[in-house]
């Protein structure tokens, strides 16, 4: 089965999502404070289920978030844990790149906290 591209345009309260196996780009960026996090992020988990069966290259999942609320913080942890599972089950290596704005200590700390919680190659990168 061909894995489709997951592309969600960003809004003022939801992030832009682009997961594309053709270009090998996987990025979540922007702000995340949706009213209903579970339904907003459901397509991500559905896509990851398919991705797990089709994984070929060594993908890098980039998180480039400017802000997220506490409910999103829980969902992001769930996504990272799902990626950890995929990494463990696959011969490919799944990498995480967590970006934070140089001046944003809270986003740096958030990245470091996630890094401690999942066993997966995890880089915290300033931009």
Partner 1 sequence: MPAAFNIYDLYKIMFDNKIILIYQGVFDQEMIKSVISMTEKKLIQDNTDENLRKKLFNIMVEGLQNICKHQLDIDSTENNPFLIISSDVDSFDVVTGNLIANDKIGIVKEKIDYVNSLNKDELKEYYKKARLNSVISSVGGAGLGFIDMVRKSGNPLEYKFYDLGTDFSFFIQKTKVGNSN
Segment near partner 1 (CB under 8 A), from 2-10, 44-52, 82-90, 99-107?
Answer: 99-107
Which of 2/116 has CB closer to partner 1? 116
Please report whether residue 29 would count as binding partner 1 according to CB under 8 A.
no
Interface pick for partner 1 out of 1, 70, 91, 127 (rule CB under 8 A): 70
Tokens of 20: 């594309």
* 113 near partner 1, rule: CB under 8 A: yes
Per-state percent for the chain, helix, strand, coil, to nearest 5? 40, 30, 30
Q: How many CA atoms lie within 13 A of 80 on its CB side?
A: 25
User: Quick one: which of 20, 50, 77, 115 contacts partner 1 (CB under 8 A)?
Assistant: 77
Q: Which residues contact 100 (CB under 8 A, 6 or more apart)?
A: 107, 108, 110, 111, 124, 125, 126, 127
89 or 117: CB nearest partner 1: 117
Residue 69 touching partner 1 (CB under 8 A): yes
Asked whether the CA dihedral 8, 14, 16, 20 is positive or negative, the reply is negative
Q: Which residues bind partner 1 (CB under 8 A)?
A: 12-13, 33, 35-38, 67, 69-71, 73-75, 77, 103-106, 109, 113, 116-117
């Amino acid at each position: 089965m061909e894995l489709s591209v997951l592309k969600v345009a960003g809004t003022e309260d939801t992030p832009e999502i682009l997961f594309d196996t053709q270009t090998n780009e996987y990025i979540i960026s922007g702000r995340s404070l949706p009213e209903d996090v579970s339904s907003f992020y459901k397509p991500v988990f559905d896509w990851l289920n398919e991705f797990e069966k089709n994984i070929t290259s060594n993908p890098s999942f980039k998180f480039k978030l400017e802000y997220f609320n506490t409910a999103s913080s829980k969902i992001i942890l769930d996504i990272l844990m799902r990626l950890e599972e995929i990494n463990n089950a696959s011969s490919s290596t799944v990498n995480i790149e967590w970006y934070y704005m140089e001046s944003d200590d809270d986003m740096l700390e958030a990245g470091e906290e996630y890094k401690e919680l999942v066993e997966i190659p995890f880089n915290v990168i300033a931009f």
